[in-house]
Structure 1
Amino acid sequence: MSTDVHRPSPARYDRTPYRRVGRSGVLLPPISLGFWQNFGENRDPFTLRTIVRRAFDLGVNHFDLANNYGPPPGSAETQVGRILAQDFRDHRDELVISTKAGYRMWDGPFGDGGSRKYLLNSLDQSLDRLGLEYVDIFYHHREDPETPLEETMGALAHAVRSGKALYVGISNYSPERTRQAARILAGLGTPLLIHQPSYSMFNRHIENGLLDVVSELGVGLAAFSPLQQGLLTNRYLSGVPQSSRAAGSSSSLSEQQVQDEDYQARVRGLSQIAHDRGQSLAQLALAWALRHRQVSTALVGASSVTQLEQNIATLENLEITDEELLRIDEFAVDGTARR
């Protein structure tokens, strides 16, 4: 890997319409770079470094991680930590780095869930892998019905008091549990900043209450999987590429899903709408997810600089007319391609 230090573009903030997160002072780019499945040990470090550099030059200053991102778990944080040390040591104050804990990370009774012991130990390990003194946002990654919510939220609040996180968030929480979590955190003097749910044209569950709850609470939303892990792209219109997730060992996509006749009909209909707008299907899907004022950012992975640039080009055409929304609703059906 090249040892040259990146010199960011002086124009990196000129064209990005940053969005406020709820009623906080935090601003995020509409499209943020996520590291869920694209930054493991099997990826070329030079390619990864090039993607992150280019993202920052395009105004993407929010990098989203979790303790178990890879593969293997932890490797995404390690990869990003190296890049931060090489290129962004002098730009830490410009970056919003988030990480999470909640899914299984190590063996034994304290390797997942929502206990204080697991969350705070995991945060320490994440900071070590990232080479940072603090993260900007620390999330609890999922609901844990076996741990009192007071204990979980108390751990998040402690992370802020200890200086290891600036803000806290939750992910994959129901509307009612979101309301409860926000109430507990407010009592501890640590407001809930943001909720990270999945949201896409084929996964519309947040429209059934969560959008209203976060609006009432003044909490932002970071939408993950807005492209439904590739299902909302043109990638599968002509079969299953050998390099795709559906052709591999991913547990979240299968050839059966992408060959499903209902999915194929819906994605072709959406592709035509995108074409009429002068966009790719992926760009339409991102613009659609960002249409809600509550959505502070959409988290998108990238396997190449070209893919990253195409996603960010979405910002050139975010407006969707009422007529287009009606057309989209014919095809954007919750649960499509879930089998």
Structure 2
Amino acid sequence: MTNSPDPGGAHRGRVARRAVLASAAVAATAFTAEQALATPKHAEHRCGPYVPEPVPAQAPAEEGFLDVPGARLWYWDTGGDGPAVVLVHPGSGSALSWPYQQPVFARAGYRVVAYSRRGHYNSTPPEPGRPGVGADDLHALVEHLGLRRFHLLGAALGGYYATDYALRHPRRLLSLVILSSFMGISDPEYKRVTEQLRPPGFDAMPHDFLELSPHYRAANEGGARRWKEISDLSLGGHAVESQELSEPIDWTRLATLSARTLIITGDADLYLPPPVLRVVAAHLPAADTLVYHRCGHSANWERPADFNRDVLRFWSGARFRDESCR
């Protein structure tokens, strides 16, 4: 990948991206905003049997590039006059990682925006040893698009930068949703506990093995294959240096988080199992929490209808108090 994508490269990237999404897309069942906001009975949808879901046709979106110090970021934006939503992808993904969310959130009336961080699909790689501050890049995009207030959703590593942004710019957020993320927390005991969950060699294992539950991989081989295709395209066959936080996030700093917050994980998440989520929630007593049944590190992909429904309900004012399967 070169430092400045040429027009032909951008065109080839769009073709490759659409080919991957097209391979996954089939006719989707209509999913209206009213259905998305319907309150489930005793959260049965979240704990019920797994049912494979097709990727819906994508909503129209404008694509663009934003120059930031030392890099160029690629983004897409569905536009519209509704409340804005910014999606911050996991370390294994890019702006391509949201095909289940983009059309559903757009149909529910939201302006949906996603971008690729430095070194991820269609964005230039960071300068060696200078990965940049993730929250700074996010803020540059928000300012470029003229978003005054918006909902922020960060997944996994993207949750680090979303949390950092929420702490730095609390008045810009309508809400914060964090999916399966350590949130950049640097408390020594927290880090010790989470690191001991990952034995030597853990990080060298394939992303799809680490981030998709065994239940999903066994029940939906095609879906797992498509997830891997998007991840491989997002990373371009190389490792990407993680971006920096503006400052460490310890428990004291985290306690200043004022945005209305929902924290989500899956009961088969190898990174953030439910007991770790509850450690974080204990330091954020006002935060809502959700745990998905038979689900790994990628609830937005493994259980998208449930995930989308719950996020839309949260954005509309619903509360979730440790609604896990028992």
TM-score computed with the length of structure 1 as normaliser: 0.34
Taking structure 2 as the reference length, the TM-score comes to 0.35
Q: Indicate the structure whose relative CO is greater, using CA pairs within 8 Å and at least 6 residues apart.
A: 2
- Which structure: larger Rg? 1
